[in-house]
Structure 1
Amino acid sequence: MHLKKTILTIITFLSISGLAKSEISYEKEFDETQFIIESQIQAFLDENAELAYSYAAPLIKMKFNNPLEFMSMVKNYYEPVYNPKQFYFIDARYFEGAIYHQLQVISQQDESFLATYSLIQDEGKWKISGCAVYPMQKQSI
């Protein structure tokens, strides 16, 4: 029984150490992917459909055949990230080859949203493969 506990403790420690190490090793990728998200949001604000579309992963481009279709979809269904008043990066995680960023987005109407972006590598470059936007719950004190 004691051996089993010792082995479990060692495995837990190694797992935690591995997680901490992997978090550090992805800082460069987190910075790169954060820049890509910021750049796409700026392209939306500048109404630069070509540039915004260039950050999309191939799966997204297959659904929206050209930059104008893509821009229209984002404007109609993802307005908080299309035209934010402000946004803040909250967290970033690496999981099974993808990077996920969470952002708090403040809309032009001062409503708060949680946006989760996923990014994958395509030919050595990070591309945005998805975005989910949800209203944040208001909390009372």
Structure 2
Amino acid sequence: MKHILVAITIFLSSVLPSAAQEVRNPDIEATIQSQIDAFLQDDFTTAFTYASPNIKRLFGSPERFGQMVRNGYPMVWRPSDVDFLELRRQGPLLFQKVLLRDANGAPHVLEYNMIETDAGWQIDGVILLAAPPIGA
């Protein structure tokens, strides 16, 4: 009986998502995609509306925000492909992983820190994670 319980526990832990992993959130994905769509149109004013109040204070204007994205995150400014990966919770925070391919097709995994505000979901930061293996 003890072996059966161990086997069931191992099986369930391998097929069920961890407590920290969330189900997909279409509103979060739509926020990120809408900001990327605005970047593709060089519409930094609209892109800036998806930034959190903290990010807006940090950059002060859509122009400065756009300059930072163009210079620091070219794969976000001009992606050739966007795939949403896992959404995870860490305490009260939600992090959405996104696989972007840049204009040359190179893959980049980014993690978006998302916060819910009165205006809906907003992006409170983005970090570039380690590059995925070749062929990802």
TM-score, reference length from structure 2: 0.78
- Counterparts of 1:1-141 in structure 2, within 5 Å, are 19=19, 23=22, 27=24, 30-123=25-118, 125-134=120-129, 136-139=131-134
Question: What secondary structure is seen at the aligned counterpart in 1 of 2:133?
Answer: coil
- Total equivalences in the alignment: 122
Percent identity between the two aligned chains: 26
Shift of 1:61: 0.6
> Structure 2: which amino acid aligns with 1:78?
Y
Consecutive unaligned residues of structure 2, counting only runs of 5 or more, are 1-8
Consecutive unaligned residues of structure 1, counting only runs of 5 or more, are 1-8
Relative distance call for 1:18 and 1:81 in structure 2 (3 A) is closer
Indicate conservation of the 8 Å contact 1:84/1:105, yes or no.
yes
Question: What secondary structure is seen at the aligned counterpart in 2 of 1:118?
Answer: strand
Q: Partners in 2 of 1:136 and 1:98 — Cα distance? A: 23
Indicate conservation of the 8 Å contact 1:86/1:107, yes or no.
yes
TM-score, reference length from structure 1: 0.75
Give the CA RMSD over aligned residues.
2.6
Bigger radius of gyration among the two: 1
